[in-house]
Structure 1
Amino acid sequence: MTERLIQSIERAADVLELFLTSHSEQSIKEISDRLKLSKSTVHGIIKTLEHRGYLEQNTENLKYKLGIKLFELGNYVGKHLDIGGIARPIIKDLVDELNETVHLVTLQRDELIYIDKVEGQSALTIYSHIGKRAPFHCTGVGKAILSQLSEEEVDRILSSSSLEAFTEYTMTNIEVIKSHLPAIREQGYAFDDEEIELGLKCVAAPIFNHQGKVIASISCAAPKMRLDEERLPKVIMGIKYAAAEISRQLGYKGKLQSN
């Protein structure tokens, strides 16, 4: 059975959504013409939305624009989206496809925290576990996030980190680490090539929220021998697609490289 929709609410939603796809400021006549509704109908909708704070009127040209109430609602939704719940089915699909371990980390007060880990059938005993902090300088997830931060943020994070050398391949010089970030930003993914554990290679990509801020990253970890030149492109594509899909479901509207 088709659900009964309330026409007045449908029209109010059409008015609000018009500002997302058309001009940021519009008059009652412009809205009326674009939605093919009578001026009296539009006037009533506009005045009601203005009264509740969803629209505001520009006193100079008398046109209307989106109001602060929508910003407040959007900000609330963004803060309360469950990234773990959103990401879990996407991660499970990726593990099914690649049969390798996939991690999800979040950025919390200049720290990386593992919040999810799904192991493939060929699981390894590796550094990570849920709730553990991840180093920025020698993990794919860390470098993927660093690549999306400002230079000031990167300097602050790295200068306050121990930059421990976990293996002979770990980069411990801040300037050397920073020199890799532009390429990571450009290509949309980062590597950890035996930098935290010998024999282990990871591919990671950043995750963005509805405000366009990097808040997390996702990675695939596997023995280096399994991420050879033949298989690596498939893993990179899978990680980038998963990161883009999680970002999209978090409300991110920017352009992401998903292939």
Structure 2
Amino acid sequence: MTERLIQSIERAADVLELFLTNDPELSVKEISDKLQLSKSTVHGIIKTLEHRGYLQQNPEDLKYKLGIKLFTLGNFVGKHLDIGNIARPIIRELADEVNETVHLVTIQRDEVIYIEKVEGPRALTIYSHIGKRAPVHCTGVGKAILAHLSEKEVDRLLSAASLEAFTDYTMTDVNQIKKQLVTIRETGYAVDDEEIELGLKCIAAPIFNHKGNVIASISCAAPKMRLDEEKLPRVIAGIKRAAAEISKSLGYKGNDF
């Protein structure tokens, strides 16, 4: 059975969403024309939204713009979004799709920390669990985040890191790492190819919040032999799609994917 929607609330939402386009200020006539509603109907909606603080009028041209109440609500939502709860069903679906383990990490005190993990049908032998910390310079999840930080923050994080070589494939030269970060920004995903553990390969992508700041990343981790030329493109596409879906759920409006 289709749920009953309240038309007046639908129309009020339509009015508010008009301001999310390239028109920060709109007159009653402009709103009426865009929504194909009568001026009297639009006027009633606008005055109600203005009374509650969701719209405010420019006294000079009498046009309307979004009000401070929406900023207050947006900040409240941003502070209370639980990325783990949002990401969990998405990374679970991804793990089922690629049949591999998927991690969700965030950055904390100059390291990445695992905050969610969904095992694939063939569990990894690597030691990973929720709460585990790992370096940023040689993990796919770490590099996916680094690539979207400011140059100043990247310099700070790399200077604070020990840049330890965990395998013969670990990149420890700062200039080389920075070159790789450019490629990551261009492609939208990062790779850890046996950099932290021999035989392990990870594909990772960044997650952005509603302000456009990178706050986390997800990765698919598997034995290198399983991520062959046939499977790798599917994993890359899945990781990027899942990261984009999580970012969108957090309010991200960018086009980085």
> What is the SS of the residue equivalent to 2:170?
coil
- 1: CA distance, partners of 2:3 / 2:100: 43
Q: 1:40 to 1:250 in 2, by over 3 A?
A: same
Q: Where do 4+ consecutive residues of structure 1 move more than 6 Å?
A: none
Letter of the 1:119 counterpart: E
Task: Report the Cα offset of residue 229 of structure 1.
Answer: 2.0
Maintained 8 Å contact 1:128/1:134: no
Tell me what 2:120 maps to.
120
Assess if the C-alpha contact under 8 Å between 1:106 and 1:115 holds in 2.
Answer: yes
Is 1:200 aligned with 2:185?
no
| Alpha-carbon distance in 2 for matches of 1:198, 1:88 | 28
Task: Verify the 8 A CA contact 1:199 1:223 in the aligned structure 2.
Answer: yes
In structure 2, list runs of 5 or more residues that go unmatched.
Answer: none
**CA distances 1:114-158 after superposition (whole Å, capped 9, x unpaired):** 011111222222142101122100000000111111101111111
Alpha-carbon RMSD across the aligned residues, in angstroms, is 1.9
Task: Pick which of 68-77 and 216-225 moved more.
Answer: 68-77
* Shift, 1:163, TM fit: 1.6
Taking the TM superposition and a 5 Å limit, the aligned residue runs for 1:106-185 are 106-108=106-108, 110-185=110-185
The alpha-carbon deviation at position 4 of structure 1 amounts to: 4.6
Identity of aligned residues (%): 80
TM-score by length of 1: 0.91
> 2: CA distance between counterparts of 1:241 and 1:6?
33
Paired residue secondary structure (1:186):
helix
**Number of residue pairs aligned between Structure 1 and Structure 2:** 257
What does 1:1-259 align with in structure 2 at a 5 Å threshold? 3-21=3-21, 23-108=23-108, 110-257=110-257
**Unaligned 5+ runs, structure 1:** none
Question: Is the Cα contact below 8 Å between 1:58 and 1:65 reproduced in 2?
Answer: yes
Contact preservation (8 Å) 1:140, 1:202: yes
**Contact conserved, 2:96 with 2:120, CA < 8 A, in 1?**
yes
Question: Structure 1 pair 195/28, CA: closer, same or farther in 2 (3 Å)?
Answer: same
Whether the 8 Å CA contact 2:110–2:160 is kept in 1: the answer is: no
CA distance in 2, matches of 1:186, 1:167: 26
Q: Distance in 1 between matches of 2:109 and 2:135?
A: 13
1:112 counterpart SS class:
strand
Q: TM-score, normalised by structure 2?
A: 0.92
Say which SS state the counterpart of residue 20 (structure 1) adopts: coil
Q: Secondary structure at the match of 1:92?
A: helix
